Amino acid sequence: MKKFEKLALSLFVAVALFGLASCSDDDNDTPAQMSLYQKLGGTTKVSDPNNPGQMIEKGRLSYRSVVDSTIVLIVSDIVAGSEGNLGAHFAPIVGEVVEGNTTNVAVLSKNLTDFFSANTGGGATNTYSGLNMVAAHDPAQNPRMGVKSTNADYTKFIGYVGQAAGLKGVTDTGIINEVVAVLESLRDPIVQDPN
């Protein structure tokens, strides 16, 4: 029986080593080596709750969920007339929605999801073809933008993203800090009003 146990153990070790050797580099990434996109679910395909019968990458779904929740929070504050809301920024899009046209809200959601997915490790399956950050946030170049952003406006936007992430179950401080770092890296091109 001892000989059989040694043979079984050897076979088990050989299979385990073969399995490790055949894994892709992505499978062996430690959390510190993983991109933010990978940490949010990566390229693993899951059912798309918004499009029955279709699949979506889990990382992209994570971003889209937070983006859509952020949009809802911003619009809720605008509708409620909350102090310091971002209504002036989104006035063109909100005006369209009031008239029943949600096309540009869908475009905004897709562009933001594309941007974050493509720029945080989403790979070749996620691309962003929208305006650069300066043009996207300059009302003279982008008619969907109502006014230029101040630092206070952008800080408020980051707060909305954090609140939306929490609502969608993103509570890992490491991931939240990475998202904030990405958002902070965009502050200079987005904030175009020095006030």
Instruction: Name the residue with higher pLDDT: 54 or 22.
Output: 54
User: For residue range 113-135, what is the model confidence (pLDDT) as tens digits?
Assistant: 999 999 999 988 999 999 999 99
Helix 103-119 to helix 87-98 angle, to the nearest 10 degrees? 130
What's the distance, Cα to Cα, between the start and end of the chain in Å?
Answer: 81
Length of the chain (residues) = 195
Q: Compute the 3-state secondary structure of the chain and give helix, strand, coil in percent, each to the nearest 5.
A: 60, 5, 35
**Which residue type is seen at 44?**
T
Question: 4-8, 38-42, 94-98: lowest mean pLDDT where?
Answer: 4-8
pTM over 0.85: no
Q: Give the closest residue to 33 by CA, choosing from 126, 127, 121.
A: 121
